[in-house]
Amino acid sequence: MRSHDRFLRVELQPGLFRNEYTVILSVQGRTISSLIPKDHVRVKREPSQTMAGEGLLGVRILDQRSGEALVDLPSPAFTSEPRVRIPVSDLIE
């Protein structure tokens, strides 16, 4: 697994290829999804075609202040930039 500053809880779906997952992240009422290489994810429950999985997505912290952190996702999201502002309380060591 690659080096990351912290992790975020995510839902996992199968990716388009065997070496990736579709990662779904819920942040402050919005849903962000992205195809992420498997080496950025700690899997708690493997996803299947019929059931979502669970895991932790490794992220890099770029800035942190006032209870929020600006983090870099490992890959650009379908619906947002690769940088996302999240509550610090969502970060896991």
Residue type, 17: F
Position 1 in a domain: no
pLDDT at position 40 is: 95
Position 65 in a domain: yes
Helices (H) and strands (E) in the chain, counts: 0, 7
Q: Which pTM was predicted?
A: 0.89
Contacts made by residues 81-89, CB under 8 angstroms, sequence distance 24+:
84/25, 84/27, 84/32, 85/27, 86/8, 86/27, 86/28, 87/28, 88/64
pLDDT score of 79 more than 80:
no
pLDDT at position 16 is: 92
Domain, as residue range, for 16: 6-90
Q: What does the alpha-carbon distance between residue 65 and residue 38 come to, in Å, rounded to a whole number?
A: 30
Position 56 in a domain: yes
Position 24 in a domain: yes
Position 32 in a domain: yes
pLDDT at position 28 is: 81
Position 12 in a domain: yes
Mean pLDDT in the chain? Answer: 91
Domain count, the chain: 1
Position 33 in a domain: yes
**Tens digits of per-residue pLDDT, 41-66?**
999 999 998 999 999 999 999 999 99
Tokens encoding 77: 């999201």
Instruction: Give the residues across from 25 on adjacent strands.
Output: 32
The predicted model gives 67-86 an average pLDDT of: 85
**Tens digits of per-residue pLDDT, 1-34?**
456 799 999 999 999 999 999 999 998 888 999 9
